[in-house]
Chain A
Amino acid sequence: MEHVIEMLNIRKEFGNFVANDNITLQLKKGEIHALLGENGAGKSTLMNVLFGLYQPEGGEIRVRGQEVKITDPNVANNLGIGMVHQHFMLVEDFTVTENIILGSEPTKGGMISVKRAAKKVQELSELYNLNVDPYAKIEDISVGMQQRVEILKTLYRGAEILIFDEPTASLTPQEITELMQIMRRLIEEGKSIILITHKLKEIMDVSDRVTVIRKGVGIGTVNTAETNPNDLADLMVGRHVEFKTIKGLAHPTTDVLEVKDLVVADYRGIEKVKGLNLHVRKGEIVGIAGIDGNGQTELIEAITGLRKAKSGQVFMNGQEITGNTPRKVTESGVGHIPQDRHKHGLILDFPLGHNIALQTYYTSPNSKNGFMDYSAISKKANEIIKKYDVRTQGDHELARALSGGNQQKAIIGREIDRDPDLLIAALPTRGLDVGAIEFIHQRLIEQRDKGKAVLLISFELDEVMNVSDRIAVIYDGQIVETLDPLQTNEQELGLLMAGQTKNDTQSNQVKEEDSSHV
């Protein structure tokens, strides 16, 4: 069997830290090869070495049997290697075509011939069923389409070997299914794929073989057909992990959050939430299921005071909080794990300790008479760091230096520690490995069991189904249906999220007694 890529004993160091310790990965022609490992295991690093962004300290790389030195992405491109990065490498301000042709623009008389380029993009898009509008601006298209633009970028350059670094982390279930189909189609066309993902289900679905790395060390390669998710997880983490989130029955009581006829416009003035009704009770987790862009962001921003609602009302424990400032909303008992941890959740250049105090810095004992007590902050921060297992060198380390998973744990610790009546968790596990996900889900359930209300927003059906006690499906700015997770299935959810009505879906659902007022 022919190997298109062989990475042999690759070693990559960052200062004194060894990110890749003699890792070997061999990619066969025409296979989908999964690369699995915890956060920070060194997967992205290995792929960046292959793509020429990093230079390895040791080991060799062979492409189609030839030893090569990949000194920069151009070399990789010329070798037919393309990479879809974990964080999209797209210029938001540019159109799809501009992003795709960047660096190898077709010209006519010195000018970019946009038409010709767009035509080629269109053709490629049709060939692989990517369904991309060549003239759309990146900032106006969905995350899923951005993903497909990334794929088109590599195809445009004639890549034969494609690297996908966590391509599904921010996709909706539908988009994930589409992506899997696209991958299969690529394989049919003779391409080879390396796929990084934390989602074992995807690996089982689509890959041919799996290479597992743990803390920078290669653990080995197995055939997908000969393994199962549990074994893979244990292999990756080095201990036994439990999958199904363990939780008892919910005992919801009175309403904590109530949203009435809420209408919210986005930053461009387009209405995204269109008369939405919702309530969350003490002692329950309500999961909002929906495809990105159906008003989730605006809903949360309106509840938390980050955005003004156009009309409608929001109540916390019976008190109206519509239009209150974020500070007032927080003080009325709301905790908020924001969707974008780097934009809203953290001040990356502040020490971790300051970040942990971000919601309480102005209250006693952190602040007295207008003066800060940083030792109190530090003390509290260290408690949280310990309790929530934040791996860091200490509360003085800058938040920027932490891995995504640990940043997220710090945020969750900060929000939960205040013991809010309502905890809003928006995409709390995005990009995290199974271990971290497990940990976070447990914390949410703990809150529920303490009699608090939890509102979970997620694009992942698994998560919504496992964690929530009630699922509210959001579509086009409204809650179109409320379901009991025990009484529904992924198909039904998926269809509802895509805008079908309950009658269309046929399956029989038990209506909740008060679903009319949801």
Chain B
Amino acid sequence: MTFIEVLYFIVPVAIAYAAPLILTAIGGVFSERSGVVNIGLEGLMVIGAFIGVIFNLTFVDTFGSSTPYVALLAAMVVASLFSLFHAVASVSFRADQVVSGVAINLLAVAICLFLVKKIYGKGQTDFVQETFLRNDIWLLEKIPFLGPMFFQDVYWTSVIAIGVAILAWVVLYYTPFGLRLRAVGEHPMAADTMGINVTRMRYIAVMISGGLAGIGGAIYAQSISQDFGHATINGQGFMALAAMIFGKWHPLGALGAAVFFGFAQALSIVGGSLPVISEIPSVFLLILPYVLTILALAGFIGKASAPKALGTPYIKGNR
């Protein structure tokens, strides 16, 4: 592979790999910006993946080739409802938010597998027939150099993910809703004295995180694994969590971090086919994405500052 070929391969792959991570990490941004720790992202992705696949299998005759997209909506709705568990526990019941997130992760896998076994009588679903496809983006694909890198063979889901990242940035930083949400995460009592309903904001934020993680899971399952089983979502939620922190709790930062992970991942796959690198024992390629991340963090990202009220339940009148 020439250098250009490597680029033409790596960039689209990185973006495609990143899409589920981007969405989930941005979900995390919403939740944590409102002050609610969400390590339940993994579980919420599981729900999304499960619903996406089930919906796709069930309604493929009704919706035809648009099934995967409709399934995203279904996954979003169900996962955001499921995230209410986390909201109720950590916002209303003042549960330790990490504990509640752990419970979400356990519960999601358990319920989904339980249902798969109940419905299909086996450990995983069938394969879905309609999946996401790559497209060339009209006209843009023709731009020299950039065209093949960014606009040929892209998934609409990647476009959605990047769109959501930009939208999330606008919402969080330029709308009243975003201002209030961030205020609730930084100084809930200040927000309370300004007449903002802290509890309601946090519920909404957690549900947004559920919805986005659900879409993320559904994209993953319908484009990559194409079925649902116990290992379908296998750490991606934690990677999304890492992307969120890496991105300093900012939607565009999360986007960048997720693409970085995708890039590192793609690099490790390309590596095997490059003459020099293929001499290196494969374990070094396998751990490359993770080592790169750590180096990046230690080298030039440095201290990340979480929202100030992150992890603390808001109790009216408490100082």
Contact = CB atoms under 8 A, between A and B. Distances in A.
Interface of A: 48, 51, 53-54, 72-74, 77, 83, 85, 87, 89-94, 98-99, 101-105, 107, 110-112, 153
Interface string B278-319: 000000000000000000000000000000100000001101
A73 B193 contact: yes
B174 A53 contact: no
A103 B190 CA distance: 10
Contact of B175 (A77, A87, A111): A111
B180 A102 contact: yes
B179 A105 contact: yes
A148 to B, nearest CB: 16
A102 B308 contact: no
A147 to B, nearest CB: 14
B248 interface: no
B189 interface: yes
Interface residues of B, number: 22
A89 B192 CA distance: 9
A151 to B, nearest CB: 14
Interface pairs A-B: 4 shortest CB-CB: A103-B194, A89-B190, A74-B195, A105-B176
B187 interface: yes
A91 B194 CA distance: 12
Say what secondary structure dominates the interface of chain A.
Answer: loop
Say what secondary structure dominates the interface of chain B.
Answer: helix
Given A103-B180, A112-B174, A91 B190 contact: yes
B193 A90 contact: no
B182 A93 contact: yes
B196 interface: yes
Given A89-B189, A90-B187, A93-B186, A110 B175 contact: yes
Contacts, number: 70
27 contacts: A51-B193, A53-B193, A73-B192, A73-B193, A74-B195, A77-B195, A89-B193, A89-B194, A90-B187, A90-B190, A91-B182, A91-B183, A91-B186, A92-B186, A92-B187, A92-B308, A94-B179, A94-B183, A98-B179, A102-B194, A102-B196, A103-B191, A104-B194, A110-B175, A111-B174, A112-B175, A112-B176
Max count, chain A CB within 10 A of own CB: residue among B189, B191, B194: B194
B317 A107 contact: no
Contacts of A153: 194
A80 to B, nearest CB: 14
A13 B75 CA distance: 47
Contacts of A98: 179
Interface in B240-267: none
Contacts of B196: 102-103
A105 B195 CA distance: 12
A103 B195 CA distance: 6
Given A53-B316, A94-B179, 16 more contacts: A53-B193, A73-B192, A73-B194, A85-B193, A89-B187, A90-B187, A91-B186, A92-B308, A98-B179, A99-B190, A102-B179, A102-B180, A102-B196, A103-B196, A105-B176, A112-B179
Contacts of B175: 107, 110-112
Nearest to B174: A111
Contact of A91 (B187, B317, B319): B187
B115 to A, nearest CB: 39
Contacts of B187: 89-92
Contacts of A92: 186-187, 308
Contacts of A110: 175
Interface of B: 170, 174-176, 179-180, 182-183, 186-187, 189-196, 308, 316-317, 319
Contacts of A101: 179
Given A73-B195, A91-B186, A92-B186, A54 B317 contact: yes
A99 B187 CA distance: 11
B296 to A, nearest CB: 24
B253 to A, nearest CB: 15
B199 to A, nearest CB: 12
Contacts of B195: 72-74, 77, 103-104
Contacts of A87: 319
Nearest to A404: B319
Given A54-B317, A102-B180, A112-B174, A83 B186 contact: no
Contacts of A73: 192-195
A91 B307 CA distance: 11
Nearest to B192: A73
A107 B193 contact: no
Contacts of A77: 195
Contacts of B182: 91, 93-94
B186 A48 contact: no
Contacts of B191: 91, 102-103
Contacts of A103: 180, 191, 194-196
Nearest to B186: A91
Contacts of B190: 89-91, 99, 102
Nearest to A14: B317
A51 B180 CA distance: 20
Nearest to A77: B195
Nearest to B194: A103
Contacts of B192: 53, 73
Nearest to A51: B193
Max count, chain A CB within 10 A of own CB: residue among B183, B191, B193, B194: B193
A261 to B, nearest CB: 31
Max count, chain A CB within 10 A of own CB: residue among B170, B174, B175, B176: B176
A102 B183 contact: yes
A104 B222 CA distance: 42
A55 to B, nearest CB: 10
Contacts of A51: 193
B311 to A, nearest CB: 14
A48 B317 contact: yes
A74 B192 CA distance: 9
Contacts of A90: 187, 190
Contacts of B176: 105, 107, 112
Contacts of B189: 89
Given A105-B179, A112-B179, A83 B317 contact: no
A172 B176 CA distance: 35
Contacts of B316: 53
Contacts of B186: 91-94
A167 to B, nearest CB: 15
B209 to A, nearest CB: 20
A94 B195 CA distance: 17
B30 to A, nearest CB: 17
A85 B183 CA distance: 17
B193 A83 contact: yes
Nearest to A48: B317
A85 B193 CA distance: 9
A72 B317 CA distance: 12
A112 B182 CA distance: 14
Contacts of A93: 182, 186, 308
Max count, chain A CB within 10 A of own CB: residue among B170, B182, B183, B186: B183
A84 to B, nearest CB: 10
Max count, chain B CB within 10 A of own CB: residue among A87, A102, A107: A102
A485 to B, nearest CB: 36
